[in-house]
Amino acid sequence: MPGAESPRGSRSQGRGDEAIKHALVKKPRFARGFFFGTLNRFMPIPVDLCIDARWIVPIEPAGALEHHTLVVDGGRIVALIPTASVERDYAPRERAALPTHALLPGLVNAHTHAAMTLLRGIADDMPLKPWLEQHIWPREERFLSPEFVHDGTLIAAGEMLLGGITCCADQYFFPDAAARAYRQAGIRAFIGLPVLDFPTPYAADADAYLQEGLAARDAWRHEPKLTFALAPHAPYTVGDASWEKVVVYARQLDLPIQTHLQETRAELEQSLAADAMSPLARLERLGVTGPNFIAVHAVHLAESDVELLAAQSCQVVHCPVSNLKLASGIAPVAALQARGVNVALGTDGAASNNRLDILGEARLAALLAKVASGDAATMPAGLALRMATLDGAVALGLDAAIGSLMPGKQADAIAVSLAKFEHAPCYDPISHLVHVVGRDQVTDVWVAGERLVRDSTLTSLDRFELSARARMWQERMQGR
């Protein structure tokens, strides 16, 4: 898969502070284009950026480091070292001091429909089928356009960056327009190329969807922060012949496949009645499943489905808020993880959530797993936080580049303030990140070493312009 140099499903193992220091501190130190060798002992190495933090939570390995500094050069992580050693070892061009913050990898939103921010709250309190058929699809038929997708995606990118999301997996129409918005915002995006068997303003049939999507992928494939996948909507909206074409293209182009799967009980029951098998079993028969297959939702799974996902090393994206809001159910996350299935977190679209908040998803995922299993020890905070970072990167095949604060990886990092009295005392910053603070405490965000949020303010986007775009589309949809 593009961008992936390590096997999918890799896991960091919990280790003590000494192991963390061995992994993150005792690393060769590099400056861009030079290896200083023994000179390191005598002169500080010029680097682009040092970020000093009260705590650093690297995710890989597990645990937290106190009073450490993230060293960045050329957009990549050089080292994590004690802050007291920075002036001796490095000469940063910029230094950020975060004395009351936790620094951690950028959050990964492994499933969303970014442009649907323009449909936020348009039809609340409804189950999935009537919500789609009576409210969402008719509005898309009327308003969907490249301009709609660009503006909605830009607004979503701003919201996600402010909440600490540095990478998202987007699945929607007009991917070329989405790519333009993501490049403008500076956020990473894993763009799903949609496939359906019925016409929309974007394409007339499955062949046209594939043609349009692959053309967008060809146009943007060299953009460093963008990767692509094939994204058939769901087994119930895409027939066997179209799935077979998707599989051929995925294998020829080494593209992942992401789809909604077994989100509702009705979907499962209809498939059993029509095909005498689950939707997942049908996709397995068609050759869809495997390490590059990403199943979104996966709420209603039989034991045989769980075994199939595990045996095929598939990826799963858990969207707890959307599943609860649409009354779809609670995904069997603990059972999947017990069988070794990698489970990431996603928000789904803002029309069914209604916010793009991965820290909120992590907290809810942890609480749901506990109540669903009847075991308070299920999904501790460290696991929930890993699902929001490294496991999301694994699901998207990007874990060689992002998802943890390891030397050599891209410098995607976020700072979360723990300074307020209502966050005190803090005995365990990892627990605080999941169970105490929220996205409003994210103050600073870096993507590839570029600061896209500074002191809770976007640097790449104008919030007043984003508000104006949202108001314009609201007025259009309300007929004003």
Average pLDDT, integer, range 189-208: 97
SS3 content of the chain, % helix, strand, coil (to 5): 40, 25, 35
- Greater confidence (27 vs 327) lies with 327
Is it the case that residue 376 has pLDDT exceeding 70?
A: yes
Question: For residue 347, which of 306, 314, 392, 386 has the smallest C-alpha distance?
Answer: 392
Average pLDDT, integer, range 131-136: 90
| Mean model confidence pLDDT for the chain | 92
Domains located in the chain, CATH noted: 17-105+411-448 (2.30.40.10), 107-395 (3.20.20.140)
Confidence of residue 2 (pLDDT cuts 50, 70, 90): very low
Is it the case that residue 38 has pLDDT exceeding 50?
A: no
Average pLDDT, integer, range 225-251: 98
Strands (E), 140-280: 165-171, 188-195, 226-232, 257-261
Q: What are the φ and ψ backbone dihedral angles of 103, each rounded to 5 degrees? A: -105, 130
Is it the case that residue 404 has pLDDT exceeding 80?
A: yes
Average pLDDT, integer, range 314-339: 97
Confidence of residue 129 (pLDDT cuts 50, 70, 90): confident
172, 178 contact by CB (below 8 A): yes
Confidence of residue 81 (pLDDT cuts 50, 70, 90): very high
Confidence of residue 21 (pLDDT cuts 50, 70, 90): low
Confidence of residue 51 (pLDDT cuts 50, 70, 90): very high
Question: What pLDDT score was predicted for residue 346?
Answer: 98
Gap between the terminal Cα atoms of the chain? 46
The string of pLDDT tens digits covering residues 97-121 is 999 999 999 999 999 999 999 999 9
Integer Cα distance of 16 and 439 in angstroms: 28
Integer Cα distance of 113 and 61 in angstroms: 31
- Greater confidence (152 vs 27) lies with 152
Question: For residue 100, which of 421, 411, 453 has the smallest C-alpha distance?
Answer: 421
Average pLDDT, integer, range 201-208: 97
Is it the case that residue 407 has pLDDT exceeding 90?
A: yes
Is it the case that residue 365 has pLDDT exceeding 90?
A: yes
286, 242 contact by CB (below 8 A): no
Q: In percent, how much of the chain has pLDDT > 70?
A: 91
Is it the case that residue 19 has pLDDT exceeding 90?
A: no
Question: What pLDDT score was predicted for residue 35?
Answer: 38
Question: What pLDDT score was predicted for residue 479?
Answer: 84
| Packing angle, helices 175-185 and 206-220, rounded to 10 | 30
User: Strand 413-417 vs strand 342-345: parallel, antiparallel, or unpaired?
Assistant: unpaired
Lowest mean pLDDT among 29-33, 40-44, 134-138, 299-303: 29-33
Tokens (6 digits) for 196:
């359906």
Question: For residue 396, which of 49, 124, 111 has the smallest C-alpha distance?
Answer: 111
Average pLDDT, integer, range 164-188: 98
Alpha carbon dihedral 55, 58, 62, 63, in 10-degree steps, equals -10
Kindly list the strands in the beta sheet with 165-171, ordered across the sheet, starting from the edge strand earlier in the chain.
Answer: 107-112, 165-171, 188-195, 226-232, 257-261, 293-297, 315-318, 342-345
Is it the case that residue 1 has pLDDT exceeding 70?
A: no
Write out the DSSP string of 301-359.
--HHHHHHHHHTT-EEEE-HHHHHHTT-----HHHHHHTT-EEEE----GGGSS---HH
Question: Would you call 23 helix, strand, or coil by DSSP?
Answer: helix
Lowest mean pLDDT among 21-30, 88-97, 331-340, 343-352: 21-30
Question: What pLDDT score was predicted for residue 20?
Answer: 53
- Greater confidence (446 vs 2) lies with 446
Question: What pLDDT score was predicted for residue 304?
Answer: 98
How many angstroms from the chain centroid is the CA of residue 178? 16
Question: Would you call 133 helix, strand, or coil by DSSP?
Answer: helix
Tokens (6 digits) for 334:
């603990």
Question: Would you call 461 helix, strand, or coil by DSSP?
Answer: coil
Question: What pLDDT score was predicted for residue 256?
Answer: 98
Question: What pLDDT score was predicted for residue 23?
Answer: 53
Integer Cα distance of 242 and 205 in angstroms: 9
Tokens (6 digits) for 445:
């965000």
Average pLDDT, integer, range 131-147: 92
Question: Would you call 259 helix, strand, or coil by DSSP?
Answer: strand
The structure's pTM equals: 0.92
Q: What are the φ and ψ backbone dihedral angles of 224, each rounded to 5 degrees? A: -65, -25
Question: What pLDDT score was predicted for residue 39?
Answer: 45
Lowest mean pLDDT among 24-28, 118-122, 310-314, 442-446: 24-28
Helix (H) and strand (E) counts in the chain: 18, 16
Confidence of residue 56 (pLDDT cuts 50, 70, 90): very high
Q: What are the beta bridge partners of residue 144? A: none
The string of pLDDT tens digits covering residues 272-300 is 999 999 999 999 999 999 999 999 999 99
Angstrom CA distances, 140 to 62, 86, 127, 192, stand at 44, 53, 18, 18
Is it the case that residue 336 has pLDDT exceeding 80?
A: yes
Is it the case that residue 162 has pLDDT exceeding 50?
A: yes
